Copies of this chain bind each other. A is one copy, B any other.
Amino acid sequence: MMGHLIFVGLGLSRPEDMSMKALVALRGCDEVFAEFYTSRLIDACQAELEEFIGRKITVLNRKEVEEGTIILKAARQHKVAFMVAGDPMSATTHVDLRLRAAEEGITTELVHGVSIFTAAAAAFGLQPYKFGRAVTIPFPEPGYLPASPYDYILENYSRGLHTLVLLDIREEEDRYMTANEAVRWLLDAEQRLGKGLLNDETIICAGARIGSTGQRLLAGDPQTILGADMGPPLHCLVIPGRLHFMEAHALVSFASAPRDILEED
């Protein structure tokens, strides 16, 4: 008998954020794998997850997921789950793994989870229709300063569109980029590229631990975000484009944006 491989999205924060469907699927599996290097649950450790689903979890590192050997070997004969935070398939390696499984005749299935791609918009009260492409800001590396995140945000902005800015994760070093570091990165890029994306009054939305009980939202100018303590990871930014009146109100009410953004519309 060929096996079965279920990709399960856990959502954002706690084991309870997964769907009932996910819980039933996980409990019905012979083996449960996970990766937490593309993202991780904000507010739960492996032991809590294991207790919640009643199964031991084998956490794989990036190399092991990319090779795929361990998961595919198990999935050839058993019913296997592969869990990730958020929604699965957002990393190319997940798609690759699913394709390789399908090619071997292993049946695959997705159980969706809540993703930061939509939760960030909802938390800030920004319309999901008005987001352009999302970007990720990488940790600065000597000799590697990509312009694309800045350019893509500017491209969205010039069309009146919001940009979700995801922040680099280096799970193996326990490093998660903060909203402050990301704003610093953007200010540096502004200085370097000088295309006028940011000035002293640009409104930036910073979100910390979105979807958790300890969620914090702050909207303000670059210096305000630079000086704010947003607490532990995960953080993200949204660079708003043209704000609808209702969106501006939401930023004032739920993210302490300065009231003068209400008059700009």
Interface residues of A (CB under 8 A from B): 9, 11-12, 14-21, 23-24, 87-90, 92, 95-96, 98-99, 102-103, 110, 112-115, 117-119, 121-123, 125, 127-136, 155, 159, 161, 211, 244, 246-247, 249-250, 253-254
Contacts and interface: CB of A to CB of B under 8 A. Distances in A.
Contact of A115 (B23, B115, B134): B115
A1 B114 CA distance: 32
A113 B114 contact: yes
Contact of A17 (B21, B88, B89): B21
A165 B243 CA distance: 22
14 contacts: A15-B20, A16-B20, A17-B20, A87-B114, A88-B122, A89-B122, A90-B122, A95-B125, A95-B246, A95-B247, A113-B114, A129-B135, A133-B159, A133-B161
Which among A14, A15, A133, A136 has the highest number of chain B CB atoms within 10 Å?
A: A133
Contacts of A102: 253-254
Given A89-B125, A110-B122, A14 B23 contact: no
Contacts of A24: 16
A102 B252 CA distance: 11
- Taking the full assembly, how many copies of this chain does it contain? 2
B122 A128 contact: no
Contact of A250 (B14, B98, B131, B254): B98
Contacts of A95: 125, 127, 246-247, 249-250
B250 A114 contact: no
Contact of A19 (B11, B88, B117, B253): B11
A114 B112 contact: yes
A250 B128 CA distance: 25
A120 to B, nearest CB: 10
Contact of A125 (B17, B21, B98): B98
